[in-house]
Amino acid sequence: MKKRIVLMLAGLLLCSALAGCGQTDANSSGAVPAGEMQLAPMQLSDEQYSVLSLADIGVREFIAYEYQTDENLRCITTIRYILNDALEWEPADSGSGRTYGDAPPPSPIGTIALTDKGGGQGFTHVLRERGESSTGYTSSAPGLPEEVAAGGLAVGVGVQQEAVPIVYDEEIPLLVRTFRDKSELYVYDAARDFADPSRFEGDLFTEAYTVTFSDTLPE
């Protein structure tokens, strides 16, 4: 039930962020300046925060970004990584996302959200372009390891705090999440801690999610 609620709310919130799912004027929330290729944290209104609160969905369970590219966009790929014992990131999958073929995308502006389905099921990626009336593209990551999904652990989450420029074929960290059996947690940052995961040494399980925008099609 919570999984369905989270996905429904993600669709509604992303829709409202994109100027009512139908307008084609400049980015309505102001997170990304018009004409700039950027990815920025989505700025939720007080009303949107209230909707999440009423559904008992915390800020660590709904992480959303707005992006703006240009007519050269051909592919958006998200990848989940898992940190191994050598403190190296290993891709947990080959990536998922959206390709547009040789034609320009319907819109170079959109939103990306990571929503936690709860119950140890892991994050779901939701990608919506401006003008889409449906829930857009959705893909679910594998569930968490059993010893982590059981709960009772300290959980730390880090995201992108500020707008970052989009450069085609350069990976952008969206989120890092770590589980530890220690009470203390740090202030995590997706960009910093993805580049240097040393602070996760000794944690039980750590994952990361990234996005790559490309102006070429995958081979």
Q: Find the length of the chain.
A: 219
Segments in the chain below pLDDT 70: 1-34, 45, 48-60, 117, 131-136
Instruction: Convert the pLDDT of each residue in 199-208 to its tens digit.
Output: 999 999 999 9
- Model pLDDT, residue 188: 92
What is the per-residue pLDDT for 28? 43
Whole-structure pTM value: 0.81
pLDDT at 179: 93
pLDDT of residue 173: 97
